[in-house]
Amino acid sequence: MDPIFLASAVTTWVLNKLLDSLKDATIKALLGTEGLTTEVKDLVHALDRANLILGSLSAGAAVGIKLGNQQLEPQITEVRHQAVKLAKHIDKLQYYDLGEKVKKMNLKDSNQIR
């Protein structure tokens, strides 16, 4: 199987998962509280464009077009690597937000007991 097709298919999947996270209302709100709304919009737009390009590679391979440009493989791998790193940061953000909510609930509960 064509390595470019494999790399683009995996990267497309990672980008879709990342886009789902960035479009989540909770994540949008959290990033908005940090003043990152404009940056997130720009990032989502760039990820959508990258996804279109990678999708066209996969679609072409599905109909038998072999790209044969091995120089693309490192760039596709780098896009995937960066997307995975960003997804990990978003996961941490969700984790810390959940921790803060639990702390607030515990404080609220302990104040009600008194």
> What pLDDT, on the 0 to 100 scale, is given for residue 69?
65
> What pLDDT, on the 0 to 100 scale, is given for residue 47?
86
Q: Are 87 and 47 in contact (CB under 8 A)?
A: no
Is the pLDDT at 84 greater than 80? The verdict is: yes
pTM as predicted: 0.65
Q: Give the rounded percent of residues in the chain with a pLDDT score beyond 90.
A: 0
* Location of structure tokens 């879709």: 16
Is the pLDDT at 112 greater than 80? The verdict is: no
Convert the pLDDT of each residue in 62-73 to its tens digit: 677 666 666 677
Is the pLDDT at 98 greater than 80? The verdict is: yes
pLDDT band at 80 (very low <50, low <70, confident <90, very high): confident
Q: Are 44 and 22 in contact (CB under 8 A)?
A: yes
- Length of the chain in terms of residues written: 114
Q: How far apart are CA 45 and CA 96, in angstroms?
A: 26
Q: What is the mean pLDDT of residues 93-107?
A: 85
Q: What is the mean pLDDT of residues 107-114?
A: 73
Which is nearest to 91 in space by CA: 35, 36, 30, 46?
Answer: 30
